[in-house]
Structure 1
Amino acid sequence: MADTPPDYRDTVFLPKTDFPMKAGLAQKEPAILARWQAMGLYQRLREKRAGRQRFILHDGPPYANGDIHMGHAMNKVLKDIIVRSQSLMGKDAPYIPGWDCHGLPIEWKIEEEYRKKKLNKDDVPPAEFRAECRAYAAKWVGIQSEQFQRLGVMGDWDDPYLTMKFDSEASIVGELLKFAETGQLYRGAKPVMWSPVEKTALAEAEVEYEDITSTQIDVAFEIVESPIPELVGAHAVVWTTTPWTIPVNQAIAYGPEVDYALTSCRTHDGPKIGPFLVATELVEAFQSRVDALLRGPSDPELDGCWSIDSFHSGADLAGTIARHPMHHLGGFFAKPRPFLPGDFVTTDQGTGLVHMAPDHGEDDFELCKAHGLEPVFAVEGDGKYRADWAWLGGQGSVINPKFNAPDGPICSDLAQAGALLAASADYRHSYPHSWRSKAKVIFRATPQWFIGMDKPLSQREREGPAAQRWEGEGDQTLSPSPRSPEASRPLPMGEGSNAPTLRELALDSIERTRWVPEKSRNRIAAMVEGRPDWVISRQRAWGVPIALYVNRRTGEYLRDPAVNHRIIEAFRAGGADAWFLADHQALLGPDYDAVDYEPVGDILDVWFDSGSTHVFVIEARYGMDARADLYVEGSDQHRGWFQSSLLESCGTRGRAPYAAVLTHGFALDGQGRKMSKSLGNVVDPLKVMSESGADILRMWVASTDYFEDVKIGKEVLAGASDAYRKLRNTFRYLLGALDGFGEAERTTEFPELERYILHRLAELDRELKEAVNGFEFNRYVRRLSEFANEDLSAFFFDIRKDCLYCDAPASPKRRAYRTVLDILFNALVRYLAPVLPFTTEEVWQTRLSTSLEMSGLESVHFAEWPEVDAGWLDPALSAKWDALRSLRGQVTEAIEPLRREKVIGSSLEAEVTVPERADADLEELFIVAKVSPGDTIAVTRTERLKCGRCWRHLPEVPEDGALCARCSEVVGA
């Protein structure tokens, strides 16, 4: 019987590590998180970075009203990656998480609970209701805090900012009073977006647009006076998709540059219908709509019945007066309806004549106001007409489709009055809805508080007790309130400089701010350029009150710094309730009689709350000169938090509260659809973490092109898991290959291959720094993955495994390899720490347990950016080895068919010919038995015998299973 060949497995230096291939993140991460909390990781990091250059990412506050969703997860993880990467760069990068605790989202939840119990909110004492809102917000702050921390988000969770903290409420009201003292605040009755369901005004950011089908109607207004005689007795025709606004009509707008025609219809032997005044370009469309109403069983055809009686210039319509179709009701309806010139009138659709209801449209309001027509407030907060309104009083709701339908009360009454020319419930268009209640909103004029966008902001002393206010000329320095030197700089009037209105200040600040991606600059600039005055009042209970006193006789609000100081201090001591429960005489002080002043009962728009957070988060913690380096939110915040923060800061400090703004897209399902419970396509981050771990979610966030909308689903998460697994395996290999490595083994003498890999590391380091500075973490992770998978696993590790396993521990090449592996380990674990904080901590602790050299850093998150020598860059060497890698790929491709056909078992059994013999060990590079020069790349099976230890086929092996010279020396040693 033949002798059994010797077993050399115990002589091979295989990698050895306890780091498992199976991640088990869902089980491990909570323990790692608990360790961080126990060691005070965040506070200790602040101590280690104290005195360094500061980087402040200011957290936009989510609402504290429910479990986090995937949008929250995406947003917080991206912020955390940015903050951690800046800390890795050696900066002091604090992160103060915060919550929006006031406003309708929370108030609505409490009202829902009341409705379930058949209770009315108005029957509950306001203080009790507000206390319930506060408790509800506090509950969800606690829950969301735990959920965000579970994501691995590192921050000052022991001292977050809350808009409902007393100091925060005092700061918010203090900012309001700055606007008041400087005269930027005013009370007026303008049409604002109003939710009849929630009974409050809404901001643009609280509204979403959805397609609906509305009733479109053509209504005839009889002309009773005109400088054009033939128009008297004719009917001006208006077209609208909001029939409910006809009962509030006060005028008709025409286009001075539009041409109009009188058109009439005679059906066979019937009476003449008309004439009707409409824009010449819209005559055919108008006739077509009216045909549908005129045509009856006895009149199947109306072709040829229409005629044009005359043409008229829009400019000639000045002085024309019509009467309302319901003029017989008297009072408001009997008043003349003047024709008014409107530049906004177009011939895109309708009739070229626009009915004006100043209560319910911005253009309507401005045009009517310019001609002495004021709102009449016919529609109340619940969407019904006032009980005393002559037409449809007490009825509604005005947004109910049935109320506006062709057979509804409005159209029926107009038809009975002979004024309804056409009506059809088929007009498809986009319409605003409240994003909370999902109900349609209306434009409704109500008394509200506004911050003017176009009021000149130059400063001048005013007479009386109030300190200063803005005027349109004179001294151009900003508000006297404390601020940074930069913010108080004079505002020159020249071209390209800061300008003297809030709108111009904001637009100027947009130009001075870095926007990522750059295209978002134009988006917010267009929004600020076209936005109306900022309506800051809400008719609700849970929020910061508009703490102003209005003189009952003059209607002016009080501007007295001493009173304002007492108000702010009262808020600081007792929060917003200090206003609702106040002794107003005590706040007014001895100079004023409370009988003469009415305290305002409205609360502030929550966007003013969150827009003021820079005051009590950034300035309060880091000094009046401080401002945020970066704001990061979804693209919807161009009309939300980005804009409210910009306007608040520009109005009080003369500049933006941020140096840069990053915008990300939204998280969609795997098919690119918006997530919704009704579709059943919601991906719950809490479930993903409980099943796969937070680092998988973080890997997904960092791997996406988050500047656009991104997809997440099973397939997408599977891709993130696969990318994660490959990186984990890279770390597992490094940990095993570095087992027992110490300083005595380190060397500075490297073969070409090692020098090439160090060159590649230096290139990677440069790219990663660029990606961090550009907040391009998809590029960051992609390059790391490519380096780990292609440069290392598939190339460097593959080639050097023979050296690692079989060379003597003291061999120069093995020492060089392990030294470079140590360099790679310390670089990769740090590079990936911002993205995969749990996994890199596990990796770090595994290495720490076997390496005394790392004992000075108890956590990977204390470590700083790796020291990568720029001198490692060697373009000439890189060109040579890039070519060798290309040749290696061709050889591997040529070997593969023989492996598939079982001619050879592995590349070690192959002999290859290549066109040129390079200056390198090609047998080692290609992992083959022999390389010879030839005309083309060719592969054959080797006749050489295999070493029993290293398995290489070498000429000096005397028989299969015997040792080659190297292995014989190592084993003999």
Structure 2
Amino acid sequence: MESKKIKDTLLLPRTDLPLKNTNHLETEKKIREKWEERKIYQKVLEKNRNNQPFILHSGPPYANGKLHIGHFLNFIIKDIIVRFQASEGKYTPFLLGWDTHGLPIEHKMIQAHQGQKINLRQVCHDFALSQVQAQKEQLKKLGLFTDYEKYYITLDKEYEAEQIRVFGEMAKKGLVYQGFRPIYWSCGHETALAEAEIEYYEKKDTSLYFKIASPEFSKFFGKKVYFLVWTTQPWTIPVNQLLAVKETARYLLIDCDGEYLIVIEKMVDKLKKWGKTVKIERALEGKDLVLSHDYLHPYSRKGAENRIVKGDEFIQEEEGTGIVHLAPAFGLEDFIIAKRNEELIFGWIECPLEPNGIFNEKIGVPKLVGKHYSEVNSLVIVDLEKRNLIIKKEVISHSYPHDWRDKSPLIYRLTKQWFIKVEATKKELLENIEKVKWYPGWTEEKMKQIIAAREDWCISRQRKWGVPIPILYQNNEPILNSEIIDYVAEIVAERGSDCWFDGSILPLLREKFPNLINEKTFLGQDIMDVWLDSGVSHWCVLKK
């Protein structure tokens, strides 16, 4: 009797699959091609078409560079969810999409074509489309349950038109306005930035305690008296317009190593730690300083009355000297206080800094005109030292806002921008958060905190590659008209948004609205924040 091998006595399944997949990439490609050839995704959609829908809207990744692990994690999780819901018999269309406008693409094209005369919007358009195709091929390797021939893209003229219509709806509801105030500004890219485009990193700055002379107190005491002021941005000192104190705080006139200084009471201990000899001469109330005294500006401004005002809500007694120098063009809190005391300011609140960070003649200090603000920083420190106006300086490291793209430090800069009134919709937003199921549960409270703290959204950018803010100007005053905006959307749907930037839309608008638009009317050149492009994707895509 012939002996059998043990394996011959076992009932094992037989398969043509190799024991080892030595060429898994080729195998996966064949599987994908078979799924596409047999149109498995489309057949499942058709089978479940009349069943309960499950719509998972995919927010668009940015079309710039290769996909990374974050993209893969995002799409694989979504794919698992869509496949599961499809297996439950639900109708599950899943549409890919791409975010194609914005500064990263524009910046890359400017660098790639340096010194060349180009149609910037056209090269950005072509590059974005090439990135979409490259990323789509990468996504195919994930085997996503979708139709790769059907996708949305934010540079599509229909999408752009719908985005402009959404803007028009917000305008009709009074949610859009033009504001003149300091906002985060990138001098390198010469544009405004929104909070979502800001990252915080440690930055080294000079902490400066400097003196500002008080003529009134000096006359009264028969000896030169100074206000002691603290700043970490010395370059803003030449554009100082007011000093602010805390009315409810206690201040002291002190003899500090032979100099008379006015500081908040809690500053005395700090001076002693620095090795200063301090003698208290007189106690003062913050309210006694407000509006009753002027000061000698470190950089004399002819005819200016330099006044002291109330700044209680912004002044921390534990930090600084209790006396804050205000440069309204470069600080939001400074601007708020200055607007409240506009009648005391010499001239108008205006910005002496060009978009690229260079000071113009409005700074009022001839030797600083044409200098970059970072250069002015060191010049001011040296100048104040020469005049013996610095009590203490030291380099500190602190958390500071940076541009998320090139990691360069930002500044606040006074400029006119377009905003969406978040405050007007905040109550409704917070109510609707409670109507959503959140996973994990703690994220609901996190979202509430974010919305509650959110300020109005700056949506304008001073760039070329994006959807235009459809505002015309007459005598430099904006025309915010919903009928015009709707008509702009109609034209963009037909021609694309290039018609706004090449000016070819203007004759059509004049013909349609002869009573509103004449030969002196011109088109605004700001584009919408790219986060608005992706932010309206739920409307532009799911509506259809």
Name the TM-score, length of structure 1 as normaliser.
0.53
CA distance in 2, matches of 1:232, 1:22: 93
| 2:480 paired residue among 515, 538, 558 | 558
- How far did 1:583 drift? 4.0
Counterpart in 2 of 1:364? 334
Counterpart in 2 of 1:517? 440
Q: CA offsets, 1:578-627, max 9 Å, x none?
A: 212234242142332323533211111111111111111111x2xxxxxx
Q: CA offsets, 1:402-440, max 9 Å, x none?
A: 653xxx21111222344222222x211011111111111
Question: Structure 1's 327 and 52: CA in aligned 2 closer, same or farther, altered over 3 A?
Answer: same
- How far did 1:313 drift? 2.6
Counterpart in 2 of 1:184? 175
CA distance in 2, matches of 1:59, 1:348: 48
Q: CA offsets, 1:836-888, max 9 Å, x none?
A: xxxxxxxxxxxxxxxxxxxxxxxxxxxxxxxxxxxxxxxxxxxxxxxxxxxxx
Counterpart in 1 of 2:253? 262
Q: CA offsets, 1:764-787, max 9 Å, x none?
A: xxxxxxxxxxxxxxxxxxxxxxxx
Counterpart in 1 of 2:146? 155
User: Are 1:309 and 2:308 counterparts?
Assistant: no
3-state SS of 1:515 partner: coil
Q: How does 1:636-785 map to 2 (within 5 A)?
A: none
Question: Structure 1's 5 and 571: CA in aligned 2 closer, same or farther, altered over 3 A?
Answer: closer
Counterpart in 2 of 1:411? 381
- How far did 1:38 drift? 1.7
Q: How does 1:371-386 map to 2 (within 5 A)?
A: 371-372=341-342, 373=345, 375-386=349-360
CA distance in 1, matches of 2:353, 2:427: 35
Counterpart in 1 of 2:517? 593
**C-alpha contact 1:223 1:231 (8 A) present in aligned 2:** no
Counterpart in 2 of 1:249? 240
User: Are 1:453 and 2:422 counterparts?
Assistant: yes
User: Are 1:93 and 2:111 counterparts?
Assistant: no
- How far did 1:237 drift? 1.7
Counterpart in 1 of 2:369? 394
3-state SS of 2:465 partner: coil
- How far did 1:63 drift? 1.1
Counterpart in 2 of 1:164? 155
CA distance in 1, matches of 2:131, 2:190: 25
Counterpart in 1 of 2:494? 573
**C-alpha contact 1:252 1:353 (8 A) present in aligned 2:** yes
| 1:604 paired residue among 528, 532, 544 | 528
Q: CA offsets, 1:91-133, max 9 Å, x none?
A: 1121111111111011011011123xx44xxxx46xx110000
- How far did 1:51 drift? 1.3
Counterpart in 1 of 2:293? 321
Question: Structure 1's 19 and 452: CA in aligned 2 closer, same or farther, altered over 3 A?
Answer: same
| Counterpart AA for 1:393 | L
Counterpart in 1 of 2:230? 239
- How far did 1:233 drift? 5.2
Question: Structure 1's 7 and 249: CA in aligned 2 closer, same or farther, altered over 3 A?
Answer: closer
- How far did 1:516 drift? 1.9
Counterpart in 2 of 1:276? 261
| 1:545 paired residue among 468, 490, 504 | 468
CA distance in 2, matches of 1:136, 1:551: 35
Count of residue pairs the alignment pairs up = 535
Question: Structure 1's 209 and 6: CA in aligned 2 closer, same or farther, altered over 3 A?
Answer: closer
Question: Structure 1's 14 and 346: CA in aligned 2 closer, same or farther, altered over 3 A?
Answer: same
Q: CA offsets, 1:214-248, max 9 Å, x none?
A: 1110122222458x966995322221111111122
| Counterpart AA for 2:499 | A
CA distance in 2, matches of 1:8, 1:156: 49
- How far did 1:324 drift? 4.7
Counterpart in 2 of 1:628? none
**C-alpha contact 1:377 1:445 (8 A) present in aligned 2:** yes
- How far did 1:384 drift? 1.5
User: Are 1:207 and 2:206 counterparts?
Assistant: no
CA distance in 2, matches of 1:600, 1:277: 49
- Give the unaligned 5+ runs of structure 1: 267-271, 292-301, 455-500, 622-973
3-state SS of 2:294 partner: strand
- How far did 1:560 drift? 4.3
**C-alpha contact 1:212 1:429 (8 A) present in aligned 2:** yes
Question: Structure 1's 9 and 537: CA in aligned 2 closer, same or farther, altered over 3 A?
Answer: closer
CA distance in 2, matches of 1:529, 1:354: 28
| 1:504 paired residue among 400, 406, 427 | 427
- How far did 1:449 drift? 0.8
**C-alpha contact 1:206 1:434 (8 A) present in aligned 2:** yes
Question: Structure 1's 33 and 415: CA in aligned 2 closer, same or farther, altered over 3 A?
Answer: same
CA distance in 1, matches of 2:165, 2:25: 46
CA distance in 1, matches of 2:518, 2:455: 34
- How far did 1:15 drift? 3.6
CA distance in 1, matches of 2:224, 2:522: 51
Sequence identity (%): 33
3-state SS of 2:313 partner: coil
User: Are 1:421 and 2:370 counterparts?
Assistant: no
CA distance in 2, matches of 1:109, 1:576: 21
| Counterpart AA for 1:354 | V
**C-alpha contact 1:196 1:382 (8 A) present in aligned 2:** yes
- How far did 1:61 drift? 1.3
CA distance in 2, matches of 1:590, 1:286: 69
**C-alpha contact 1:199 1:381 (8 A) present in aligned 2:** yes
CA distance in 2, matches of 1:452, 1:9: 75
- How far did 1:321 drift? 3.5
CA distance in 1, matches of 2:355, 2:223: 39
Q: CA offsets, 1:174-217, max 9 Å, x none?
A: 11122222222111211111111011001111111111111110
CA distance in 1, matches of 2:81, 2:253: 66
CA distance in 2, matches of 1:433, 1:8: 70
Counterpart in 2 of 1:942? none
Counterpart in 2 of 1:18? 16
Counterpart in 1 of 2:402? 433
Counterpart in 1 of 2:270? 285
User: Are 1:355 and 2:325 counterparts?
Assistant: yes
Q: How does 1:771-850 map to 2 (within 5 A)?
A: none
Counterpart in 2 of 1:725? none
Question: Structure 1's 146 and 314: CA in aligned 2 closer, same or farther, altered over 3 A?
Answer: same
CA distance in 1, matches of 2:287, 2:437: 47
Counterpart in 2 of 1:530? 453
**C-alpha contact 1:322 1:337 (8 A) present in aligned 2:** yes
CA distance in 2, matches of 1:154, 1:231: 84
| Counterpart AA for 2:349 | P
CA distance in 2, matches of 1:531, 1:396: 35
CA distance in 1, matches of 2:19, 2:414: 65
CA RMSD of aligned residues (A): 2.5
CA distance in 2, matches of 1:308, 1:97: 71
| Counterpart AA for 1:175 | V
Greater mean deviation of Cα atoms: 134-143 or 72-81 = 72-81
Which structure has the larger Rg?
1
CA distance in 2, matches of 1:79, 1:55: 12
